[in-house]
């Protein structure tokens, strides 16, 4: 497995692979890899990739001024061991100054799906994501890119950006992966105390109940959302948002119909967790 730190070397490596007929997938990450990330690598292979690049870059531009950029967990040794075991071909791990020249003044902004939900409390987050993902695409030159359903809004915004800007890259959204007890896998779960972790399971329990209720015929959307909120609050969670949206466009839903996504963001202690469930009607 190769570790590449510069954009030039990454582009040259991918260019040579493409000319040799490889199908390249990129799995963009911020490192501190867990089962969720590893499942993205499996999804890449299932979707025809014979060459997998994992990018590891804690992207400063997607963190707000009072967020956890400085203390975001990092463990490159652990990450590279997992990637090696998974048969990853390259880790692309640039330094911040390689990705962002000091006088960098260009952003890539998606203006529709990047509004609402997480953007309400993280107003500059998605322009950081779409900008860095564009840069990672241009460095790694992949045929396909895999993102997790856990960051449902991010995945939709990136899909839209790729469509709008004609990136010749297929975006694959991989299912959300949970810990054995149901908590959505996230590098930020590390911040939770045991008690906060237990309490945070209320998100998964509430989402599962909501889906079961809809599957068994309930259509009272406002009451369903209120019950979900109440169950998270009863466990000590502070809800940032709970919504019912269209699973592709993220437009708010006013009735139970079609392809729906129910995204949730809630704080347990200082840790902000996100989760969601897809429901088809
Ligand atoms: O999902 C993430 O880890 C990040 O937002 C991403 C896509 C790697 C961009 O920094």
Tens-place pLDDT, residues 94-139: 999 999 999 999 999 999 999 999 999 999 999 999 999 999 999 9
- 3-class SS of residue 116: coil
Question: Could you give the CA distance from residue 230 to residue 224 in angstroms, rounded to a whole number?
Answer: 10
Torsion over CA: 141, 145, 147, 152 (sign): positive
The distance in angstroms from the start CA to the end CA of the chain is 44
Of the candidates 37, 125, 143, 197, the residue annotated as catalytic is: 37
Q: Could you tell me the distance, in angstroms and rounded to a whole number, from the CA of residue 21 to the centre of ligand 1?
A: 28
CB-CB contact of 279 with 214 (8 Å): yes
With a CB cutoff of 8 Å and minimum separation 6, the contacts of 108 are 127, 130, 131, 134, 161, 165
Q: What is the pLDDT along the chain (281 residues), one digit of tens a residue?
A: 999 999 999 999 999 999 999 999 999 999 999 999 999 999 999 999 999 999 999 999 999 999 999 999 999 999 999 999 999 999 999 999 999 999 999 999 999 999 999 999 999 999 999 999 999 999 999 999 999 999 999 999 999 999 999 999 999 999 999 999 999 999 999 999 999 999 999 999 999 999 999 999 999 999 999 999 999 999 999 999 999 999 999 999 999 999 999 999 999 999 999 999 999 99
Catalytic annotation on 37?
A: yes
Structure tokens at 65: 């001024």
Ligand 1 atom with the smallest distance to the CA of 148 is 1
From the list 116, 82, 101, 117, the residue with the least C-alpha distance to 1 is: 82
Pocket of ligand 1 (CB under 6 A): 28-30, 59, 62, 129, 132-133, 151, 154
């Amino acid at each position: 497995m190769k570790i590449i730190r510069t954009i030039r070397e990454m582009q040259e490596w991918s260019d040579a692979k493409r000319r040799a007929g490889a199908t390249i997938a990129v799995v963009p990450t911020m490192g501190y890899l867990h089962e969720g990330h590893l499942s993205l690598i499996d999804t890449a292979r299932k979707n025809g990739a014979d060459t997998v690049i994992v990018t590891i870059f804690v992207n400063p531009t997607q963190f707000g001024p009072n967020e956890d950029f400085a203390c975001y967990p990092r463990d490159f040794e652990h990450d590279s061991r997992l990637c090696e075991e998974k048969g990853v071909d390259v880790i692309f791990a640039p330094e911040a100054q390689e990705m962002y020249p000091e006088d960098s003044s260009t952003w890539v902004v998606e203006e529709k799906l990047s509004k609402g939900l997480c953007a309400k409390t993280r107003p500059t987050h998605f322009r950081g994501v779409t900008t860095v993902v564009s840069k990672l695409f241009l460095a790694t030159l992949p045929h396909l890119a895999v993102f997790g359903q856990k960051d449902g809004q991010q995945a939709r915004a990136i899909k839209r950006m790729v469509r709008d800007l004609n990136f010749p890259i297929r975006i694959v959204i991989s299912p959300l992966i949970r810990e054995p007890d149901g908590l959505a896998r996230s590098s930020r779960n590390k911040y939770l105390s045991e008690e906060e972790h237990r309490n945070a399971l209320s998100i998964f329990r509430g989402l599962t109940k909501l889906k079961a209720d809809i599957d068994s015929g309930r259509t009272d959307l406002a009451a369903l959302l209120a019950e979900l909120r109440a169950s998270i609050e009863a466990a000590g969670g502070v809800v940032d948002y709970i919504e019912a949206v269209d699973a592709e466009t993220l437009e708010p839903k006013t009735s139970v119909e079609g392809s729906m996504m129910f995204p949730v963001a809630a704080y347990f202690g200082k840790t902000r967790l996100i989760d969601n469930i897809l429901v088809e009607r």
